[in-house]
Amino acid sequence: MPRLARFYFLAVEESTKEIVKKAAIAVGSLKETEFDVRFNPDVYSPGVQHVDPDGTQLQKQRQLVKDAADFLLTVQIPAFVSV
């Protein structure tokens, strides 16, 4: 591979990695290099005591559950019913 082409390929690869990293952070992924989204079923359970109930991690987990519920109610269920 010519030197210039290899440089371009490496630059595009790094740019892609940065895009994936930013997107993974935006959706609350547990990993920076891929979309690893998991739901904590206990975020709204009244009987569960969390280590840090005011912490950012729990707030992110709650927001993820809210966003998923909103998506299901406003997009997926209406699309399923209209089929």
Same domain, 33 and 60: no
Same domain, 32 and 59: no
Same domain, 33 and 58: no
Same domain, 32 and 47: no
For residue range 9-34, list pLDDT tens digits in order. 555 667 778 888 888 877 777 777 87
Residue 9 lies in domain: 1-38
Give the confidence band of 71 by pLDDT, cuts at 50, 70, 90. Answer: confident
For the entire predicted model, the pTM comes to: 0.57
Under 8 Å CB-to-CB from 35, ≥6 apart: which residues? 23, 24, 27, 29
Secondary structure class of 12 (helix, strand, coil): helix
For residues 51 and 65, give the distance between their C-alpha atoms in angstroms, rounded to a whole number: 19
Same domain, 81 and 46: yes
Task: Report helix, strand and coil shares of the chain as percent, to nearest 5.
Answer: 60, 0, 40
Number of domains present in the structure of the chain: 2
pLDDT of residue 48: 93
